[in-house]
Every structure is written in C-alpha cells, then in structure tokens.
Chain A
Amino acid sequence: MNWYDYIVVFIILVIFVVALVNLIRNKNCSSCSSCPYSGNCHEKKKGIKSNQ
C-alpha cells in the first residue's frame, strides 16, 4: 500500500463514521427519502421543531 491508499481509506472511514453517527442520531427519520412532509427531518437545523 502506498500513501494514496492510506489517504483514500482514511477519508472513506471518516465519511463512514460520520454517516453512521448521523444515522444513529436521527434513527427515526434520516432514512426517509422523498418524504412529501420532509419538514420533520430538517426542522431543527432551521430553528423549526416538531411538537410531536
């Protein structure tokens, strides 16, 4: 393995960990694609929250 390999593996691992953490944190909605009521998933970022 040369240093390019290490860089690629490192980047992929970082994205993998970030994606995994994101999935665990938003386990109820992060995988809801094409949701016509998509507000629920992204509200917190916009300062909008659900009262559910």
Chain B
Amino acid sequence: MLIALVGNQNCGKTTLFNALTGSSQHVGNFPGVTVDSKVGIVKNSKVKMEVVDLPGIYSLSPYSNEEIVTRDFILKKKPDIILNIIDATNIERNLYLTLQLAELNVPMVVALNMMDEVKNAGNSIDLNLLETELGIEVCSISAQKNEGIDELVEHIKRIASQRILPKKDDICLPTSPVHRALHAMMNLIEDHAKKINYPVRYVATRLIEGDALLEKEIELNENEVDMLGHIVKEMETDSNLDREASLAKMRYEYIDNISQKCVHRVRIFTPEQIRSNKIDRILTNKYLAFPIFILIMGLIFYLTFGLVGTFFSDLLETGINEFILLVRQGCENLEMNPVVISLLCDGVLGGVGSVLSFIPIILILFFFLSLLEDSGYMARIAFIMDKPLRKLNLSGRSFVPMLIGFGCSVPAVMATRTLTSERDKKLTILLVPFMSCSAKLPVFSLLTAAFFGVNAVWIMILLYVIGIVTAVLVAALCKLIIKGKPTPFMMELPTYRLPSGKTTLLLMWDKAKDFIKKAFTIIFVASLIIWFLQSFDLHLYYVENNENSILASLAKAITPVFSLIGVNDWRVTSALITGLSAKESIVSTLTMLLGNTPIESIMNSLQGFSVLVFILLYMPCVATFATIKRELKSTSKAVLFMIIQTLIAYIISMMIYQIGSLF
C-alpha cells in the first residue's frame, strides 16, 4: 500500500512521517526542511504500508519544484491513498490544498495535526461536521506527542482497501460563472483527460487556472485551445476577476463556509501565536533585528570556538595523543618494524586522530544551530535577510540553502531545488561554497590557534564574515552579468516553540556519526595515501626524512603556483591538494607531514591568514562537486563553477598576502 503524505510547509509532515515509520528524519521548525521526498515503511503494521513524505506545498499549481514533485507523484505514481496533514491552528489556509487534492479523485484521509494547541487556546473543531462538509474522513492527531497515530493508521488501511473516494468535488455555487466555465471545460477536455488517465475535473480546473504544463500534456487541438480561451474569457468577464483569482475566490468562499460551521473560536490567536507575535516585535524589529542576529551568532561562535568547544577539543586531543603514545610504546616493546610503527602511529592513528579531536567543536556548534532552528528563529533570519538579498538581485529563498551551507555544502546545493528560477539556482550554487562549512572548522581551529593564540576566536569569526562578504560581492558582480529579476519570496513564519531535546540530540548524534564515519573512510584513505607518499621515495625506498619523498617531489613542483598567496612550503601545498577530498584532510595531512615541527616555524601569521582565506574560499570537496554536477546536470558547468571559486579564492588571498606584506 502506497501512502502519499501531503501538506503545507511546516505543518508537521516529517514529524508525522517519523511517528508512522519510527525513523528519525531531520525535523525543523522551519518551512522547507523536506527538500526531497522520502519513503519509509509504517511500523507495527501487518499490511506493508509505504509512506512517502513529500515536500510541503500550498497548492497544486506548478509554480515551484516542490509543487511539481508532489503533483507528479500523485498523478503518475498513483498512490493508494493521500494522507493530507493539516495544521489545525491554521485550518482555513491548509484546506485550500485539501480541496485541490480532493479533485484528484484518489482515496484520501485528513489528519488534523496540532489539535492540542487548538484546545489550549480554548477553541474547538467539530470533526464530524468537518467530515460531512469535506466529504473526506478526518482524524485528530498530535504528531509531536504521538497522539492519535494508531487510529490514523486504522483509518488509512480501511479507506485505502475500500477505495473510499472524496465524496464532494463540486464545491462551486451552481449559478456562478466559475461553475459554468468548469462544466463547459469538463465537456471540452473529457476525452483528453481520460486518455492520459487524469481526473476530468482536476484537468478542467487546472486549465482554467492557466496551467501551461498540463495544457501541453493533454495535447489540445487548435480549435479546442480557442474554445478554452473563450470559456476563460467569458468567466473572467462575468466574475470580474482574472482566471486564477476566480477559482481562488470560489475555493475560499467554500472554506469560509466550512470554517463558520465547524470551527468554534474563543480566541482568534492561540497563546503560542500571541507569544510569537510579542517576541517578533523585538526579534524582527526594523532596527533591532540585525544587531540581535549578530549578537546571537557572535555569542554562539564565542562559546563554540573560544570557550566551551576549545576546552573539550583540547581535552580530547590530549587523550588521543596519550593513546597514540601508548600504542607506539607498546609496538616498540614488541620490537615491531619501525616502518610498520610509523604506518600505524603516524599514518593511521595520527591522521584519523587529528581530525577526531575536533568533534566537540562541531557538536557544540550544531547544538546551538539546532536550538535556533527548532525554536523558529532561523525562519526569522531568512525573513530579515530577504531585503538585503533582494538588493543583490537574489531571492530571500536563496538564504535557506546558504544557511544550510554553514553545515555542509552538499545538502545546501541540494536545497537549491526549492528555488523556482534557474537563474537564482545557479547563482545560489555558486555562492553556497563560500559559506564556511563545518568540515572547515577543524582546519580553522588548528591554524587560528597556531598563528593567533588568544585572538583565534576573533579570526574565526572574521573568516565567517569574509565568506559572507565574498558571497555578497560575487552576487553583486553577477547582478551586472546575469540579468533578470529574483523570484518573489513567500515564507510562513512558524510560531516560536521550545526546542525539542529529542530533535537536538538526534541532530547531534547524526553529526557525530557522520563525522566519525568520515574519519574512518575518506580521512583514513587519504591519510594512508599521504603516509605512503611521504614515507617512500621515487624508487620506493623508505625515507627517514620526508623531504626526499615522492610527495615532496610532486608538491615542490606545484608550490611555486601558490607562492603569490604566501605558500612556500611543499607540506602546505600537499595539504591544500588533499583538502579537495575532504577539507578535514588538510588537518590530517599537516599533522602527518609536520610531525613535531610547529606550523608557525614554516609560515608567519600573514601567510597563515592568507592560507586560511584560501581554504575558506577555494573549490569545495569532491562530494560537493558531485552534487553540483548532479543539480546542474552538466559536468562542464560544475567544472566552471569550481574554477571560478578557486580563482576568486586565489585573487582574494593574493591581495591579502601582497598588501599585508607591504606593512
């Protein structure tokens, strides 16, 4: 049995998906968390029930990729049932999509989520009357508290197995111009709709609303296209509204009618909404919003990099070093071969351990970011960033992928799918890697601590700022080259909620797991390759001094290219190259190649800063490259993006180093 989970953004689809399947997909109090559809199996069910979590949408119009994905899934994959989840605190707006889904003529059940909040506000919804008015069975649930889920599953099984279709689809007044237009249209396109196995009424409403994709798909002849135009024009004249507004008005009139009958409100706003409005008066205030945002982020960075994070990171590093020392002594006591001891202690444990010691910093940063996201503040940041982004010819929607880019560029590039225009998408993909991803954190921590000591935290914040400023400058430059207007940004601000401990812990667990996995896969492989290349010469003889190694020979040939940015040592060049596999490899490579030599002895702080900026901005890792290639559907464009990013990094680092050298 295939279940399509459909609903507005941020109405709790993923929370319900997790409750149904027992999985732990990322849930955020942030619209657009689900970028891609996910499939899971309903737990504890004798019948195999597959549930698909589709991206949040407000209507079935093909304006955004999410809408197209959802619409195509329902029409082409033909699920056995649509599970339409509705935010009960905002029932009127959510029912708009419900009415459109009902036109698809697929068995359907409505899950009324967040009913606990409705009750808390002293309001109520007459479920039986709502069922009768909609002609669809309704279940009351609270996905977050896991209430009503078993009953919902039983409803789904029964409705899908008996194929109970929505009972009402004709929701317009019989005398209205829309009604006349709809029925005329249904007569006109009936054969075409049946031919492609689409519901007739759905096709008729979509054509009246001006759905160009569907018009192409059903292959109308010239006469029929003329007739279509005539029907629409007549409806527009009679109703004195344009085609889309006519149908929207028809649906909202019906929803108003249902709402008046079924929803009993003591208060218009729930206590949560009243509280959110009060908080928003300060946090999204015209003058206070930006200073507060900067203050919050500054505090997070200070705690992560300066106080708490460094303490735990240093503690772990000491532990790892002690462990390596113990292993080395053990090996020496066993009189093992020095080459094998070097392979184990310098190559494997040294390489992997140097990266693992930064886990606390990453966990602490994501603990704070998770609190911001889960509380609802992250959505406000996107809201307040819309205006400045618009000035740069970018949509506020672009901010969401850029924000995700602070975590990892791979999902950030994937998140650009939510952008409707190709222009916005390409520009955002170009800018995302400039956001300092968490993989760069270990590198920054290592180098800033070495070169800047107590001021390391400020340099770290400065690096984040440089990444953002570079993105702003590149966007401004692109504004001159890539013409066109950014698409409008519409985003629902969720109510503020107390962050869920479970969500935060799950996110941190995912981070730790991913990081450890990465340490034992790509970092492990890169460390071994680097160990081999630095331990043997071109004749494959073991070398005591790595200056004579294969790696030294190769890197010394490339180093002059980086001399303009202050890199004169082959070991730094090697680290920059291995950083292409994963940024953390820079740390493991430097640790292995430098051994006990402090990095400050081969570079001064200006060179160190220039290298830090280069690492911040140069081409992202291979996984990001693969994602960019997939999203742009072009290898050449992905390569071009990498070249542009590396050139920008080179130019900025060169300017920093060359200008800095003058003083």
Interface, chain A (partner B; CB < 8 A): 1-2, 4-5, 8-9, 12, 15-16, 19-20, 22-23, 27-43, 46-52
Residues of B within 8 A of A37 (CB): 26, 33, 35, 404, 411, 414-415
B39 touches A51 (CB 8 A): yes
Which chain B residues numbered 388 to 417 have a C-beta less than 8 Å away from chain A? Answer: 404, 407-408, 410-411, 414-415
11 further A-B contacts with Cβ under 8 Å, apart from A33-B518, A39-B38, A48-B38, are: A2-B335, A4-B334, A27-B622, A28-B626, A30-B623, A33-B438, A34-B437, A36-B407, A37-B415, A50-B37, A51-B39
B589 CB-CB contact with A under 8 Å: no
Count chain B CB atoms within 10 A of each CB in A2, A31, A46 and give the residue with the most. Answer: A31
Contact B38 A12 (CB under 8 A): no
Q: Is the CB of A31 within 8 A of B26?
A: no
- Interface size class for chain B? 35 or more
Tell whether A16 pairs with B528 under 8 Å between CB atoms, given A34-B515, A35-B514, A47-B40.
yes
Among B25, B518, B623, the most chain A Cβ lie within 10 Å of the Cβ of: B623
CB of B446 closer than 8 Å to a CB of A: no
> Of the 9-residue stretches B250-258, B281-289, B337-345, B601-609, which lies at the interface with chain A?
B337-345
A12-B343, A46-B23, A50-B38 given as contacts; is B404 within 8 A of A36 (CB)? yes
Check if B525 is an interface residue, CB within 8 A of chain A. Answer: yes
Nearest-CB residue, chain B, relative to A15: B524
Q: Which residues of A contact B23 (CB under 8 A)?
A: 46, 48
Check if A31 sits within 8 Å of B348, measured CB to CB: no
Q: A31-B623, A48-B21, A51-B38 are in contact. Are A38 and B510 (CB under 8 A)?
A: yes
Residues of A within 8 A of B415 (CB): 37
The verdict on B500 contacting chain A, using a C-beta distance below 8 Å, is no
- Least Cβ distance of B518 to chain A in Å? 4
Taking a contact as CB atoms under 8 Å apart, the answer to whether B514 and A32 are in contact is yes
CB distance from B258 to the nearest CB of A (A): 33
* CA–CA, A3 and B428, complex, Å: 55
5 contacts between A and B (CB under 8 A): A19-B521, A27-B623, A38-B511, A40-B411, A50-B38
Contact with B582, one of A9, A33, A52 (Cβ below 8 angstroms):
A33
User: What CA separation (Å) do A1 and B340 show in the bound complex?
Assistant: 9
Of A30, A38, A49, chain B has the most CB atoms within 10 Å of the CB of A38
> What B residues does A16 contact at CB under 8 A?
524-525, 528
B336, A34: Cβ atoms closer than 8 Å: no
A33 to B410, CA, bound (A): 9
Kindly state the separation between the CA atoms of A41 and B622 in the bound complex, as whole angstroms: 15
User: Shortest distance in angstroms between A13's beta carbon and chain B's nearest beta carbon?
Assistant: 9
- Report whether A19 and B408 are in contact in the complex, using a CB–CB cutoff of 8 Å: no
Q: A43 vs B366: C-alpha distance in the bound complex, in angstroms?
A: 21
